[in-house]
Amino acid sequence: MMQALAQTFLDRRQPSPEHSVWWEKLSLAQKFSASSLSKFGYELSFVRNDNGHSLAVLTCASGVAVITEEGDINTSPSINIRD
């Protein structure tokens, strides 16, 4: 009986963003912001170097967000992601 009940539950835990290959390229402020966004389903996709400054790009089903080196989050960036 217990085994049947255990199989009906889904594991909804998200993988930790620390496992991303891009994670080490983030500033401390970007890591805090990325962790906050991961609670809303965002995943770190890549880090772009823009004129000597890193810009973390995160994606989720509802769109794209970017995080500046200072940790500022923009959920309406003017960035196009190629498939």
Domain count, the chain: 1
Identify whether 20 is part of a domain: no
DSSP annotation of 69? T
Q: Which residue has the higher pLDDT, 81 or 5?
A: 81
Domain region containing 69: 26-77
Identify whether 10 is part of a domain: no
Identify whether 67 is part of a domain: yes
pLDDT one-digit tens code per residue, 11-66: 555 555 555 688 888 999 999 999 999 999 999 999 998 788 999 999 998 899 99
Identify whether 13 is part of a domain: no
Model pLDDT, residue 82: 77
Q: Which residue has the higher pLDDT, 7 or 81?
A: 81
Identify whether 17 is part of a domain: no
Model pLDDT, residue 20: 67
CB under 8 Å to 25, separation ≥6 — which residues? 47, 54
Quickly tell me which residue has 């965002």 as its tokens.
42
Identify whether 8 is part of a domain: no
The pTM assigned to this predicted structure is 0.74
